[in-house]
């Protein structure tokens, strides 16, 4: 993660604007020493974290709001340190210059893009966890009439793929930095040609984190066109057996199972596993049904404010309900009228991490509203109830 170690930070008076970056305000943690600085870059808003150490500070992007690609964070950090007259001790920032990743930034889309205006003018295929991107790039290059959506949370992989999109001059790939299990809730029904899940992390010790699950399979069948395929490819016999059991648990299932069949293109990791003599397993689940249309709705506004005393009372508490939870993590003070609350909520295995910006009698999510998942809607209603106890 990009960061700067510095001494003698002199925070400027906010807000300030430097180039394309605007630094809006500073928030001081209550009962802790961390500080957050709000940043706006074009249409993006995110936070920088200033974390005190014994004799210096570490300045980095806040993990909840950190944007991709990394060059935005690097520029924001470097720019901020100049404004704060930091005495740099060291950093891990590479030289910031125009790159292929920046040229392809338009292909990296936020989740709101897909929620508000999911592309429907082409057939759609989805790859979950594209890694190095070799398979996704191959498919896109050989099927220019299809729009490929690559889902990945590993930011170096995202940047590597964006660079290749620019180098290969492809225009039929969109990239989203998001949890695939949540993403599927917002894909319209009956429009996807193929869903590729190639070599997902097995999570043998944490099986609840696996991509393949009964809810994921049900959402996959909803978004797939009748006759289209969910394709799993794995080198893990444990994952293969687990996934096969999940697929067979469906009321209707047409499966194709193969072993050690060479694909048209393989990743460098698969090449290594084959050299080591590992078996490769494939399961293809064909969707046999036409699903009802997707309906998305969700109001995440707050009808009233909350007193600071109530916020302090809630900090550190975790509220657990039947199918969602709320955890109030940390409280920050911006000024006499404004506070910032860090919290997580929603599904147990797919939580949403957000901030609430509280200004006198108004409350809003920062930097943007939660996605309108079922668990998030329930959690939002409960958060407002807890604020008004």
- Domain C-terminal end among 286, 321, 340: 286
- Domain C-terminal end among 286, 320, 353: 286
Residue 297 located in a structural domain: no
Q: Note whether 105 and 30 are same-domain residues.
A: no
Q: Note whether 112 and 244 are same-domain residues.
A: yes
d(CA 216, CA 126): 13
Q: Note whether 269 and 124 are same-domain residues.
A: yes
pLDDT of residue 50: 97
Contact 220, 254 (CB under 8 A): no
Beta bridge partners of 90: 5
Residue 342 located in a structural domain: yes
Residue 76 located in a structural domain: yes
Q: Note whether 87 and 107 are same-domain residues.
A: no
- Domain C-terminal end among 60, 91, 122: 91
Q: Note whether 383 and 241 are same-domain residues.
A: no
Which distant-in-sequence residues (6+ apart) come within 8 Å of 311 by Cβ? Answer: 328, 331, 339, 341, 358
pLDDT of residue 243: 97
Q: Note whether 252 and 374 are same-domain residues.
A: no
Q: Note whether 159 and 68 are same-domain residues.
A: no
Q: Note whether 274 and 381 are same-domain residues.
A: no
Determine the distance from the C-alpha atom of residue 154 to the mean position of all C-alpha atoms in its chain, rounded to a whole number: 9
Domain count of the fold of the chain: 3
Q: Note whether 86 and 153 are same-domain residues.
A: no
By CB neighbour count within 10 A (0-12 exposed, 13-18 middle, 19+ buried), where does 87 fall?
middle
d(CA 23, CA 15): 5
pLDDT of residue 100: 56
Collapsing DSSP to helix, strand or coil, 5 comes out as strand
pTM greater than 0.85: no
Q: Note whether 84 and 107 are same-domain residues.
A: no
Residue 294 located in a structural domain: no
Q: Note whether 118 and 240 are same-domain residues.
A: yes
Residue 244 located in a structural domain: yes
Q: What is the CATH number of the domain that holds 145?
A: 3.40.50.150
Residue 296 located in a structural domain: no
**What range does the domain containing 38 cover?**
3-91
Backbone angles phi, psi at 365, to 5 degrees: -75, 145
What secondary structure does DSSP assign to 120-152, as a single string? -SSEEEEEE--TT-HHHHHHHHH-TTEEEEEE-
Beta bridge partners of 197: 128, 232
Per-residue pLDDT of the chain in tens (389 residues, 90 and over written 9): 889 999 989 999 999 999 999 999 999 999 889 999 999 999 899 999 999 998 999 999 999 998 877 888 999 999 999 999 999 999 988 754 555 556 677 899 988 889 888 998 889 999 999 988 999 999 999 999 999 999 998 888 998 999 899 899 999 999 998 889 889 988 999 999 999 999 999 999 988 889 999 999 999 999 999 999 999 999 999 999 999 999 999 998 999 999 999 889 988 778 888 888 899 999 999 999 999 988 777 789 999 899 999 999 999 999 999 989 999 999 999 999 999 999 999 988 778 899 999 998 899 999 988 988 888 999 999 999 999 98
pLDDT of residue 96: 46
pLDDT of residue 267: 81
Residue 180 located in a structural domain: yes
Tokens of 293: 């249309």
Tokens of 383: 């958060």
Which distant-in-sequence residues (6+ apart) come within 8 Å of 274 by Cβ? Answer: 266, 280
- The stretches of the chain forming alpha helices (DSSP H) are 70-83, 100-103, 111-116, 134-142, 155-168, 180-183, 214-223, 237-248, 268-275, 308-314, 374-387
pLDDT of residue 103: 62
Q: Note whether 86 and 105 are same-domain residues.
A: no
d(CA 185, CA 209): 17
d(CA 12, CA 21): 14
Angle subtended at Cα 243 by Cα 237 and Cα 244, rounded to the nearest 5 degrees: 90
CA quadruple 324, 328, 329, 331: dihedral positive or negative? positive
Residue 210 located in a structural domain: yes
Radius of gyration of the chain (CA): 23
């Amino acid at each position: 993660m990009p960061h700067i170690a510095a001494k003698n930070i002199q925070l400027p008076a906010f807000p300030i604007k430097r180039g394309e970056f605007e630094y809006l305000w500073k928030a001081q943690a209550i009962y802790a020493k961390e500080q957050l600085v709000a940043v706006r870059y074009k249409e993006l808003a995110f936070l920088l974290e200033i974390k005190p150490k014994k004799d210096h500070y570490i300045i980095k992007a806040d993990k909840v709001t950190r944007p991709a690609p990394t060059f935005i964070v690097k520029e924001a950090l470097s720019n901020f340190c100049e404004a704060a007259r930091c005495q740099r001790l060291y950093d891990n920032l590479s030289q910031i210059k125009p790159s292929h990743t920046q040229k392809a930034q338009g292909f990296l889309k936020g989740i709101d893009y897909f929620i508000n205006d999911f592309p429907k003018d082409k057939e759609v295929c989805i790859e979950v966890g594209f890694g190095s991107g070799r398979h996704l790039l191959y498919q896109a290059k050989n099927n220019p009439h299809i729009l490929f959506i690559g889902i990945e949370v590993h930011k170096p992989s995202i940047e590597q793929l964006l660079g290749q999109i620019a180098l290969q001059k492809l225009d039929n790939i969109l990239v989203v930095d998001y949890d695939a299990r949540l993403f599927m809730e917002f894909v319209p029904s009956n429009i996807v040609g193929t869903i590729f899940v190639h070599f997902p992390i097995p999570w043998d010790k944490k099986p609840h984190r696996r991509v393949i699950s009964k809810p994921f399979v049900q959402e996959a069948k909803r978004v797939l066109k009748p006759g289209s395929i969910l394709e799993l490819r794995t080198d893990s016999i444990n994952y293969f057996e687990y996934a096969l059991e999940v697929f067979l648990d469906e009321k209707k299932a047409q499966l194709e199972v193969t072993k050690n069949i060479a694909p048209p293109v393989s990743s460098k990791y698969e090449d290594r596993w084959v050299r080591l003599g590992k078996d490769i397993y494939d399961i293809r689940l064909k969707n046999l049904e036409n699903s009802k249309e997707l309906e998305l709705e969700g109001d995440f506004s707050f009808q009233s404010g909350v007193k600071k005393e109530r916020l302090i009372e809630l900090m550190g508490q975790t509220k657990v309900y039947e199918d969602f939870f709320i955890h109030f993590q940390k409280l920050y003070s911006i000024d006499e009228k404004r506070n910032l609350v860090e919290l997580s909520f929603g599904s147990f295995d797919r939580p949403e991490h957000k901030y609430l910006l509280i200004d006198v009698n108004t409350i809003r999510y920062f930097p943007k509203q939660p996605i309108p998942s079922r668990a998030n809607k329930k959690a939002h209603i409960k958060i407002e109830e807890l604020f008004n106890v």
